[in-house]
Structure 1
Amino acid sequence: MKFQLRKCIKCNQYTLKEKCTKCNEKTISAHPAKFSPDDKYMRYRLAERYN
């Protein structure tokens, strides 16, 4: 399933396009990654986030 809603990094505007219509900056997916309790790399992601 491909999510369509995207968010501009620069101006925080939501759009459906790959580039923001307001500032022409690249957009990212507005949806969080799926959570899995069996994620064996979660420890490394959390350590990277809080360091």
Structure 2
Amino acid sequence: MRFRIRKCPKCGRYTLKEICPVCGEKTKVAHPPRFSPEDPYGEYRRRLKRELLGIGRKEK
């Protein structure tokens, strides 16, 4: 297993287990995705961000 530390999205506690021992929620990996200078999905990520924030829309 590469990343060991995990975080519970419900209560915010860190653990090494797949299930949070406090609230029983499934935990997620606490590490950010690996950085790549090529950023193969950057265009799609920026497009989604613009759509969600409403940036770039022309008001009539």
Give the TM bin, normalised by the shorter chain: 0.7 to 0.9
When the two chains are superposed, the root-mean-square deviation of aligned CA atoms in Å is 1.6
Greater helix share, structure number: 2
Alignment: residue pair count: 51
**What is the distance in 2 between the residues matched to 1:35 and 1:4?**
19
How far is the alpha carbon of 1:49 from its aligned partner? 4.1
Greater strand share, structure number: 1
Larger Rg: 2
**What is the distance in 2 between the residues matched to 1:47 and 1:20?**
34
**Superposed, which structure 2 residues align to 1:27-42 within 5 Å?**
27-42=27-42
The one-character-per-residue Cα deviations of 1:1-51 (angstroms, maximum 9, x if unpaired) are 611000001000000000100000010000001010102211212333451
TM-score (norm 1): 0.85
Provide the identity percentage: 53
**What is the distance in 1 between the residues matched to 2:43 and 2:20?**
33
Unmatched segments (≥5 aa) in structure 2? 53-60
Find the counterpart in structure 1 of residue 56 from structure 2. Answer: none
